Structure 1
């Protein structure tokens, strides 16, 4: 075929595809309509079958039609997809879980993200990730080209053994499984324990990405009200009697979003209830490096007999490395490592080697001390900023990444969040942190590092009547 003939054929195919696309867009050809066969269409149009095939391939690639084996081509049932900008700005769906997770992954300097889940980048830059790359390459070049162990890189697990010993949790490397962050650790636990229809208890308010993951697994989610000193143990006991759950996900230290810590008395009572009702407690301690070591952890009291401890380096080193871990009894650790291998093969040994190089360096302790000092100053300034606005702070902390507070005149924080979104300020409204779909909350989670930004007050003043 000459070049001229090829161009003519392509032009005819494009024209045919454009004509069909117009009919589909205007509704002349409704979704589900079966198109004439290639042979029939070629005969009716007076062109070759190859021309029709090219046109149909264009329409298939654009999602307008779809082939069905043994039946022909049909007009596809399409769902209108918004652009990335439209999705980010859609006020109708802006406050769901996935939206908030997406917003936390964006780095738009023109937007003030008071709902941000991480410390500011400049707080973490002193870890100097760049200086560890050559060390990792020199000592473990094979890790750049192979899968790692199902448990994860042994020297990092040995470092974590020492880290956990600082919390008085005894956990040899055989009880530690490295993961792609704390979220994968939770995912492994869910895959192992939870079947569709099973009841799982969570903090309410609590860690909202967990709620979405539980819904995907088909679990029945029941919230245990969070108080200033930890979960409401009377409500927990009622839930255990009524629902007979297998798991309770909770945060004992630096609770997200309320900035509360579980008291020693409540931690003991929770363990007593767990023993009586055969409950496994999953303790998420992702903020451990930002809080004092001396605070009570349920896993310390239990020594991982009926607790699963989950940790992460996302808040103290880098979320981009995606390194977390879980610690539990030896038999369960082996089972969860197998689940990890089946689902993900392994975690990244390169990233694990990098984290181990960082945490085994004496500089890391200084880094976490500096982080905590920055957090103390930021928390103090944030508390003062909220008090000037007349806010009700759920628990005034002297050192917490988040504050849980409500602003006067806004009994439901959802309309406030939507109004501020139009003015370039992102809030994390309270309803997102509750497992109940119809929850109304006046509270929001505020990241203390950003609360003194003048854009927040200016945006609030713009809403005043």
Structure 2
């Protein structure tokens, strides 16, 4: 017997019908959440869920501070929506989902650690110390390279990774994403061939597509990039390409590049005159001595990108690029032309945090938490019948597939109906239209019982066994 429709789904269909009949014309503002709740005799949270669903279906759009408006472009037919999430599962969609703060949804595809893991970094207690470092300087733009004392701290941090760099080799940025943007602006022209990990970081793909690059995916294996595929691409005639890779805690596969492969990648870069852009956004979650390409290369052919968004706060937006000195000056000029400067207030705040002995204890706790969460998440996914791409000791993500769902978008669609937001594998591929069985799971959120319950329901449905 079919389940009775929920109040949310009933109201969604009612509003869709009213829009189709012209009661709410394209571009018109819908009644407020409070008005809709009073009109239909339900809780405001129900109307919030209704508007979320209508937004996901492309029927309405939110406008900050103004409410919800009927989209001027009509949504696709319902039967087409139910067949695939490919329209919704794109880079911008995933970004929007990660910026939502709706406690009613479990965001298993989220890119950040659980908020409670970062609570002991009390940003409020550092403000007075920041002010004491020189209030007058906070009214200017600052250096094009970024706040010098923080760069001095980063020299010490890089030394812990075995990377020898001076302050003139470091450019501070608004997080790792601005760092990637600056590198792309400097090196990539429309039509250029650029090599990337595949699957890989969806934001990088989006930036490269905006630049007009021809993106070539290098398959990611459990021990790092496929070096044979990499060499085939590097052998091709033309301008030596950039290769964007993530050696440790790879997003999304959780794989680490083995020391052997790191050496091989560097040898290929030397042989074919290529440059490597190494993104190490999760450096604070891994041992300082873990093998990095930049450690072997000492920034000759490697641009090393770091960030504190994951380990301190995404709100601070502090990242950096480390590279050879001449290139650092060029990148600092691009940063100045496009963004004027990075935030010296945020950089001073981070410098104060790093100066506090508490930070090293904080990162040690983060690594311990992540190790425990990764082990538990691996066990839980395997208990639910999932296949893991690899089983790392510590990683913010796991890359897993459920054999009953050959296209992860089907799994994502079923989970979304149960208020669980997943990141299906197609998002992390150069061609997002292909069917991919893998999904990215945030290890810090997998212990929520809603996921196991939802998967149990979906496995019963997929097997054709009638429910109780």
Superposition TM-score tier, normalisation by shorter sequence: 0.7 to 0.9
**Which one of the candidate residues 348, 362, 368 is aligned to 2:363?**
368
**Which one of the candidate residues 304, 309, 334 is aligned to 1:309?**
304
Deviation at 1:195, TM superposition (A): 0.4
1:95 and 2:95 equivalent? no
Partner of residue 236, structure 2: 242
Larger radius of gyration: 1
The equivalences for 1:25-44 within 5 A come to: none
Deviation at 1:410, TM superposition (A): 0.7
**Which one of the candidate residues 140, 151, 154 is aligned to 1:160?**
154
Q: Give yes or no for contact 2:162–2:289 (8 Å, CA) kept in 1.
A: no
**Which one of the candidate residues 414, 418, 437 is aligned to 1:423?**
418
Cα distance in 1 between the residues matched to 2:315 and 2:225: 31
Give CA-to-partner distance per residue, 1:329-368, whole Å, 9 cap, x none. Answer: 0000000000000000000000000001001211100000
Partner of residue 353, structure 1: 348
**Which one of the candidate residues 440, 454, 457 is aligned to 2:449?**
454
The change in CA–CA distance for 1:424 and 1:243 in structure 2 (over 3 A counts) is farther
Q: Give yes or no for contact 1:284–1:309 (8 Å, CA) kept in 2.
A: yes
Give CA-to-partner distance per residue, 1:423-450, whole Å, 9 cap, x none. Answer: 1001111111111233221110100011
Q: Give yes or no for contact 1:148–1:349 (8 Å, CA) kept in 2.
A: yes
**Which one of the candidate residues 219, 227, 232 is aligned to 2:221?**
227
The equivalences for 1:68-87 within 5 A come to: 82-84=60-62
Partner of residue 187, structure 1: 181
Deviation at 1:307, TM superposition (A): 0.4
Question: Please, what TM-score do these two structures have when normalized by structure 2?
Answer: 0.80
The change in CA–CA distance for 1:234 and 1:92 in structure 2 (over 3 A counts) is closer
Partner of residue 115, structure 1: 109
Deviation at 1:294, TM superposition (A): 1.9
Partner of residue 428, structure 2: 433
Q: Give yes or no for contact 1:143–1:350 (8 Å, CA) kept in 2.
A: no
Give CA-to-partner distance per residue, 1:277-300, whole Å, 9 cap, x none. Answer: 111100000000001122110000
Q: Report how many residues are paired.
A: 388
Deviation at 1:143, TM superposition (A): 3.6
Cα distance in 2 between the residues matched to 1:441 and 1:189: 29
Give CA-to-partner distance per residue, 1:51-106, whole Å, 9 cap, x none. Answer: xxxxxxxxxxxxxxxxxxxxxxxxxxxxx98313899x985622111101111111
1:104 and 2:82 equivalent? no
Partner of residue 275, structure 1: 270
Q: Give yes or no for contact 1:151–1:178 (8 Å, CA) kept in 2.
A: yes
Q: Give yes or no for contact 1:259–1:401 (8 Å, CA) kept in 2.
A: yes
Partner of residue 177, structure 1: 171
**Which one of the candidate residues 183, 207, 210 is aligned to 1:213?**
207
Give CA-to-partner distance per residue, 1:104-142, whole Å, 9 cap, x none. Answer: 111111100000101111100101111100111122212
| Bigger Cα displacement from structure 2, 158-167 vs 371-380 | 371-380
Cα distance in 2 between the residues matched to 1:454 and 1:301: 43
Deviation at 1:243, TM superposition (A): 6.0
Find the residue that maps to 1:444 and give its secondary structure. Answer: strand
Structure 1 runs (4+) greater than 6 angstroms displaced: none
Cα distance in 2 between the residues matched to 1:81 and 1:337: 43
**Which one of the candidate residues 196, 201, 204 is aligned to 2:198?**
204
Q: Give yes or no for contact 1:93–1:99 (8 Å, CA) kept in 2.
A: no
1:413 and 2:408 equivalent? yes
1:142 and 2:120 equivalent? no
Partner of residue 128, structure 1: 122
1:330 and 2:325 equivalent? yes
In structure 1, the gaps of 5 or more residues are 1-21, 27-79
Partner of residue 68, structure 1: none
Question: Please, what TM-score do these two structures have when normalized by structure 1?
Answer: 0.81
Partner of residue 38, structure 1: none
